Amino acid sequence: MSTVNVMAREISAKVVFYGPGLSGKTTTLKRIYDSIKPSLRGELMSLPTEADRTLFFDFLPVRVERVGEYSVRLALYTVPGQVFYNATRKLVLQGADGVVFVADSNPGAMDSNRESMANLEENLAEHGIRLEQFPLVIQYNKRDLPDPVPLAQMRAELNPRGVPDFETCATSGQGVLDAMKALIRLVIKDLRAKRVVPTPKKKTELPALQRDGGADLEAQIREHLDAPKPVTSDEAPPAPSLRASLGPVAALAPAALIDPVRAAEACFDHGDYLACVTACREAIHRALAFAGDGPPGAQAYLLGVDGRDVLALETRAAQGIARVDDAAFSLYLLMQVLVRLTAAGLPTPTH
Ligand SMILES: Nc1nc2c(ncn2[C@@H]2O[C@H](COP(=O)(O)OP(=O)(O)OP(=O)(O)O)[C@@H](O)[C@H]2O)c(=O)[nH]1
Ligand SMILES: [Mg+2]
């Protein structure tokens, strides 16, 4: 869910990379990570299984420094594509402002591409959102394969609505930034249409967004991105390990919360999943308190966090037993709360 902090002139939006298993969603996020200046991105957080399949989600916070008078923060997520992880996909999709659908150009993958697009439509519908009206771009990925499905066929089957689409090769990075930039333009246009982002009255206010979020936005993003480095498969960075890549949750935390958030990360790191759930609960309670007095449900509401998720965390913590996915859910929720807290400009700096 997007939030706009008019005082801080900051827009936060959530983008989800969706698609069938093994289509290249995680690889796409890694290439985006490689292509963005370190000062404008957080750490890439990945929760893969031993076989490098996404277990829960991948997460990358990105800051597009200024769009007019606003700075834009993006929370980029991937979902696990494997069919049996639908509950996780629904959760990660919740509150998304736009989707990059990563389709697989392998001829054997067309059924899964269609099923995944239908699954996206169903999952959005559960949140009352119609896919035809939702900001969407499509990557036809793995175009480097020797015999990819012809582009016209992929378009006919997956893109009847004619949304912006791109031929990509996530392993080399070709086309992935173009797709992401196109989606950001659609998201900002959509937020303006819904009046989430205020329409400027004077030309001097929010100048880049005023011109349809188009060329100016792209120029601004381009300005803040390094030229994508082509990565050959043998120099591709190693997949982030479950253990080494968890520091970024703490990187999202304001100073007052770093210790409890670190504690949650450390518990995950040591495989103590119940302690991780408990530590996340503690950190979330402290984070929600910045939104004012009152019960956690009311505080969550004020921050725009889904109260049902906070309740689900309470239930998991009370069960006295937790698995890896309970801990991953808790870290996910903690990240949501921290992102919203930042977007709301909380806690207010003392000087
Ligand atoms: N040839 C080729 N291989 C690719 C491309 N993109 C990804 N791959 C490979 O496809 C495999 C799966 O990539 P992932 O990025 O892990 O796929 P995913 O969509 O995140 O998969 P799940 O997490 O299981 O949903 C890996 O071996 C990648 O190296 C591409 O553009 N071309
Ligand atoms: Mg993945």
Location of structure tokens 């969603």: 25
Is the distance from the beta carbon of residue 48 to the nearest atom of ligand 1 less than 6 Å? no
Strand partners for 165: 138
**Nearest ligand, CA of residue 25?**
1
Nearest to 212 by CA among 240, 239, 191: 191
Q: Tell me the whole-structure pTM to 2 decimals.
A: 0.72
Question: Which of 190-204, 300-314, 315-329, 332-346 is least confident?
Answer: 190-204
Location of structure tokens 């031993």: 50
| SS3 category, 167 | strand
Q: What is the pLDDT of residues 125-159, one digit of tens each?
A: 988 899 999 999 999 999 999 999 999 999 999 99
Q: Counting atoms of ligand 1 from 1, which one is nearest the CA of 28?
A: 15
Domain boundaries, given as residue ranges, for the chain: 3-235, 248-343
Q: Which CATH architecture has domain 3-235?
A: 3-Layer(aba) Sandwich (3.40)
Q: Which residues neighbour 266 within 8 Å (Cβ) at sequence distance 6 or greater? A: none
Instruction: Report the amino acid identity of residue 250.
Output: A
Q: Counting atoms of ligand 1 from 1, which one is nearest the CA of 141?
A: 31
HSE-up of 126 (CA within 13 Å, CB side)? 14
333 neighbors 283 (Cβ within 8 angstroms) = no
Q: What is the sign, positive or negative, of the torsion defined by CA atoms of 252, 254, 259, 260? A: negative
Q: What is the pLDDT of residues 95-130, one digit of tens each?
A: 899 999 999 999 999 999 999 999 999 999 988 899
Is the distance from the beta carbon of residue 142 to the nearest atom of ligand 1 less than 6 Å? yes
Rg of the chain over all Cα atoms, to the nearest angstrom: 20
Q: Which residues neighbour 221 within 8 Å (Cβ) at sequence distance 6 or greater? A: 64, 181, 184
Alpha-carbon distance of 261 to 287, in angstroms, equals 10
Q: Where are the alpha helices (DSSP H) in 127-228?
A: 151-158, 176-193, 207-210, 215-223
In terms of C-beta density within 10 A (0-12 exposed, 13-18 middle, 19 or more buried), how is residue 319 classed? exposed
**Per-residue pLDDT, 19:** 97
**CA 104 to ligand 1 centroid distance, Å:** 9
**Per-residue pLDDT, 3:** 63
Q: Which has more confidence, 184 or 51?
A: 184
Beta pairing, strands 3-5 & 10-18: antiparallel
Is the distance from the beta carbon of residue 54 to the nearest atom of ligand 1 less than 6 Å? yes
Q: Which residues neighbour 161 within 8 Å (Cβ) at sequence distance 6 or greater? A: 132, 136
Is the distance from the beta carbon of residue 21 to the nearest atom of ligand 1 less than 6 Å? yes
Q: Cis before residue 146, ω within 30 degrees of 0?
A: no
Q: Which residues neighbour 30 within 8 Å (Cβ) at sequence distance 6 or greater? A: 44, 170, 237
